């Protein structure tokens, strides 16, 4: 019997795992995330195929037998789309398309498609289009692009339809134009950012769907878009938040901080996307503090945390002050696991943004960082050590530099992490 779901594209998922090739080593869990992604894109997943072996098939990747099995399934159950977890080489794609008579795309293509549907602001649209064109350019000869007029749907949104008849030269031209436009947007952002420079800036970062937007809404009066879907947020939205800090004596005064929500990360986020989203992500790079939001209820939280750390490195934010915020604790049934996790991450905060749990603890933690960042420090450098003076300038807010007879005395404020780094530079 053929199951139906009105208006959704009937899809099968394929994940190939090679036990001897790290790049293609997957577990069946990869299929769960791929399913979530496919559903976010509007697919109706009819079946998932998982194929594991030790011998890589350069013609079909999954092997001829499996390809035949999928081809028969596609025909019998009227499948319109096949999505591969793995990146397919051009010849593999062509061979598979000859055998399996429907549209075949890979995960990068799927993510680009979701980004294309979710882009709302002009900047996000430009960034997605650029990423799609950069992705398409080397793959222009793919068979489905010629067929996409007939097929339509997932994997063919955005520039997909027009690129078919357009030659490389035209795409190249469009890419230059988009880069130019994005350059202008980046300039405007810089001006806005320098206005924000005097505030303490916080960015919410993390894997997609962990609750970053929910947390922004819970902490401020923001009305950020929240959805149980991947990549609901593609733009940076910034809100202000007043935090009561003390001046070291008994008086307390409100200090305004800026807090930004931004695009989530995912395993194997296409490199073209990271590149073109650099300007959206520059808020993260310029922040004083990153709150790394984690979905504590997710089985793969360790892997997700690693992916986030790697992506932060890639965008140049690896050295930032980071506080881990374990969210969705209300969904964790295994209390022993939670206790262990707390023991392992003593410097982190455990909250539920959805239920408003422990938000006061999070605010306390932010306050601690805020105070630490404002703490006045002094370093004495050797006369002539201009290299370290400029290092201090890049990591701290310098208040005074005195060139004394036997030393350079620098007074500045910065957080504990940067201070210990600067101290070690001295030795």
Under rule CB under 6 A, residue 233 binds ligand GTP? yes
Q: Would you say 330 and 221 are in contact if contact means Cβ atoms under 8 Å apart?
A: no
Nearest Cα neighbor of 290 from 275, 267, 308, 314 is 308
Q: Which does 214 bind (CB under 5 to 8 A by kind): Mg ion, ligand GTP, none?
A: ligand GTP
Question: Which residue, 37 or 71, has its beta carbon nearer to ligand GTP?
Answer: 37
77 CB contacts (<8 Å, ≥6 apart)? 2, 10, 46, 47
Identify the three-state secondary structure at position 87: coil
Under rule CB under 6 A, residue 354 binds ligand GTP? yes
Identify the three-state secondary structure at position 309: helix
Helix 416-426, helix 386-395: angle, nearest 10: 170
Question: Which residue, 142 or 212, has its beta carbon nearer to ligand GTP?
Answer: 212
Closest separation between CB of residue 211 and ligand GTP, Å?
3
Closest separation between CB of residue 98 and ligand GTP, Å?
36
Under rule CB under 6 A, residue 211 binds ligand GTP? yes
Under rule CB under 6 A, residue 228 binds ligand GTP? yes
Name which position in 103, 212, 324, 365 contacts ligand GTP (CB under 6 A). Answer: 212
Under rule CB under 5 A, residue 237 binds Mg ion? no
Tokens 């036997």 appear where?
A: 406
Token pair for residue 199? 């505030």
249-268 residues in contact with ligand GTP (CB under 6 A) are 264
Under rule CB under 6 A, residue 214 binds ligand GTP? yes
Nearest Cα neighbor of 379 from 338, 334, 427, 326 is 427
Of 15-23, 72-80, 163-171, 202-210, the window that binds ligand GTP (rule: CB under 6 A) is 202-210
Name which position in 327, 358, 414, 418 contacts ligand GTP (CB under 6 A). Answer: 327
Cα–Cα distance for residue pair 12/45, rounded to 1 Å:
6
Under rule CB under 6 A, residue 208 binds ligand GTP? yes
Query: Residue 7: which region, alpha, beta or left (left: phi > 0; alpha: psi -120 to 50)?
Result: left
Task: Extract long-range pairs of 147-151: CB within 8 Å, 24+ residues apart.
Answer: 147/103, 148/103, 151/80, 151/102, 151/103
Over the window 188 to 217, marking each residue x when it contacts Mg ion by CB under 5 A and - when it does not, the resulting string is ------------------------xx----
Question: Which residue, 232 or 392, has its beta carbon nearer to ligand GTP?
Answer: 232
Q: DSSP labels for 220-266?
A: SS------SSTT---S-EEEEEEEEEE-SSS-EEEEEEEEEE---B-
Name which position in 30, 127, 156, 233 contacts Mg ion (CB under 5 A). Answer: 233
Question: Which residue, 81 or 230, has its beta carbon nearer to Mg ion?
Answer: 230
Q: Which does 208 bind (CB under 5 to 8 A by kind): Mg ion, ligand GTP, none?
A: ligand GTP
Under rule CB under 5 A, residue 238 binds Mg ion? no
Cα–Cα distance for residue pair 201/288, rounded to 1 Å:
5
Closest separation between CB of residue 212 and Mg ion, Å?
5
Give strand pairing partners of 254.
244
Q: Rg for the chain (alpha carbons), in Å?
A: 25
**Site for Mg ion (CB under 5 A): how many residues?**
4
Cα–Cα distance for residue pair 232/114, rounded to 1 Å:
9
Pairing mode, strands 200-206 and 252-261: parallel
Under rule CB under 6 A, residue 213 binds ligand GTP? yes
Closest separation between CB of residue 147 and ligand GTP, Å?
31
Of 122-130, 223-231, 379-387, 394-402, the window that binds ligand GTP (rule: CB under 6 A) is 223-231
Q: Which does 331 bind (CB under 5 to 8 A by kind): ligand GTP, Mg ion, none?
A: ligand GTP
Helix 29-40, helix 107-118: angle, nearest 10: 30
Name which position in 135, 231, 326, 419 contacts ligand GTP (CB under 6 A). Answer: 231
Cα–Cα distance for residue pair 325/361, rounded to 1 Å:
10
Sheet holding 397-403, edge to edge: 376-381, 408-413, 397-403
Closest separation between CB of residue 204 and ligand GTP, Å?
8
Closest separation between CB of residue 373 and ligand GTP, Å?
25
Closest separation between CB of residue 233 and Mg ion, Å?
3
Our CA angle for 409, 417, 425, nearest 5°, is 50
> Which helix (H) or strand (E) segment is 285 a member of?
helix 278-286
Interacting residues toward Mg ion by CB under 5 A:
212-213, 232-233
Interacting residues toward ligand GTP by CB under 6 A:
208-214, 226-228, 230-233, 264, 327-328, 330-331, 352-355
């Amino acid at each position: 019997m053929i199951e139906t779901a009105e208006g959704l594209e009937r899809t099968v998922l394929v994940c190939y795992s090679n036990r001897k090739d790290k790049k293609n080593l997957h577990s069946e869990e990869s299929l769960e995330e791929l399913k979530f992604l496919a559903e976010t894109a509007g697919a109706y997943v009819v079946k998932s195929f998982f194929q594991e072996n030790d011998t890589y098939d350069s013609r079909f990747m999954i092997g001829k037998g499996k390809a035949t099995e999928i081809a028969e399934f596609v025909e019998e159950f009227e499948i319109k789309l096949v999505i591969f977890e793995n990146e397919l080489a051009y010849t593999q794609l062509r061979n598979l398309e000859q055998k399996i008579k429907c549209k075949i795309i890979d995960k990068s293509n799927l993510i680009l498609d979701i980004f294309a549907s979710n882009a709302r602001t002009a900047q996000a649209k430009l960034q997605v289009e650029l990423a799609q064109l950069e992705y398409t350019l080397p793959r222009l000869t793919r068979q489905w692009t010629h067929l996409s007029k007939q097929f339509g749907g997932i994997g063919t949104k955005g520039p997909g339809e027009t690129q078919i008849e357009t030659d490389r030269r035209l795409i190249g031209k469009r890419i230059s134009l988009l880069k130019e436009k994005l350059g202008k947007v980046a300039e405007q952002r810089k001006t806005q950012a320098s206005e924000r420079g005097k505030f303490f800036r916080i960015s919410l970062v993390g894997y997609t769907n962990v609750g970053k937007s929910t947390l922004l809404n819970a902490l401020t009066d923001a009305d950020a878009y929240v959805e149980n879907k991947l990549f609901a947020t593609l733009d940076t939205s910034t809100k202000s938040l007043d935090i009561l800090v003390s001046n070291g004596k008994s008086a307390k005064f409100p200090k305004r901080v800026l807090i930004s929500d931004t695009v989530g990360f995912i395993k194997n986020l296409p490199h073209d996307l990271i590149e073109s989203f650099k300007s959206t992500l520059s808020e993260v790079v310029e922040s004083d503090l990153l709150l790394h939001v984690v979905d504590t209820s997710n089985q793969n939280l360790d892997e997700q945390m690693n992916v986030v750390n790697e992506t932060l490195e890639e965008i140049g934010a690896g050295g930032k002050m980071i506080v881990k915020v374990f969210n969705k604790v209300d969904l964790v049934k295994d209390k022993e696991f939670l206790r262990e996790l707390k023991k392992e991450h003593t410097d982190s905060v455990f909250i539920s943004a959805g239920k408003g749990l422990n938000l006061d603890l999070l605010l306390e933690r932010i306050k601690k960082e805020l105070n630490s960042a404002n703490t006045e420090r002094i370093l004495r450098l050797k006369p002539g050590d201009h290299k370290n003076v400029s290092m201090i300038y890049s990591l701290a807010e310098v208040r005074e530099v005195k060139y004394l007879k036997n030393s350079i005395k620098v007074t500045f404020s910065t957080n504990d992490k940067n201070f210990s780094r600067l101290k070690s530079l001295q030795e």
